[in-house]
């Protein structure tokens, strides 16, 4: 290969590496979002062998700032609060009504 071709070749190789990193990161983001949707705790997910093998400590920390992951965590929190409030026992409402009647 001639010296004049080296910058072109290295530029092409860099572009392909950039594409592969983006695809890998997108797969990791989808994995995390799916696992959060299944109700797993984010700390457990981030310690999964799949993530540890395919990411560095720094990239996992950066992933936690990804908008898709943040939205998935927020949605899961909202769902847990909704589930919790729907479990409120009916006798609590009756006892409140009884308290108001006895006053």
**Residues 47-68: tens digit of each pLDDT:** 999 999 988 999 999 999 999 9
User: Does some domain include residue 1?
Assistant: no
Q: Is residue 65 part of a domain?
A: yes
DSSP string, 27-58: HHHHHHHHHHHTT--HHHHHT-HHHHHHS-HH
- Give dist(CA 60, CA 74) in Å, integer: 18
Q: Specify if 89 maps to a domain.
A: yes
Does 2 reside within a domain?
A: no
Domain count for the chain, please give it: 1
Domain membership flag for residue 16 = yes
Q: Is residue 92 part of a domain?
A: yes
On whether residue 48 sits in a domain, the answer given is yes
- Can you give the residue range of the structural domain that contains 40? 7-102
Distances (CA, A) of 12 to 2, 19, 26, 90: 16, 11, 21, 66
**pLDDT: is 93 or 32 the higher one?**
32
**What gap in Å lies between CA 88 and CA 78, rounded to an integer?**
16
Q: What's the pTM?
A: 0.61
Q: For residues 45 and 51, is the Cβ–Cβ distance under 8 A? A: yes
């Amino acid at each position: 290969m001639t010296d004049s071709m080296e910058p072109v070749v290295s530029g092409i190789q860099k572009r392909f590496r950039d594409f592969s990193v983006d695809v890998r990161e997108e797969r990791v983001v989808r994995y995390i979002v799916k696992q959060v949707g299944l109700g797993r705790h984010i700390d457990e997910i981030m310690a999964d062998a799949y993530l540890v093998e395919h990411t560095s400590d720094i990239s996992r920390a950066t992933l936690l700032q990804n908008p898709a992951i943040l939205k998935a965590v927020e949605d899961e929190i909202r769902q847990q609060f909704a589930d919790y409030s729907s479990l409120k026992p009916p006798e609590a409402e009756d006892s409140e009504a009884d308290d108001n009647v006895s006053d």
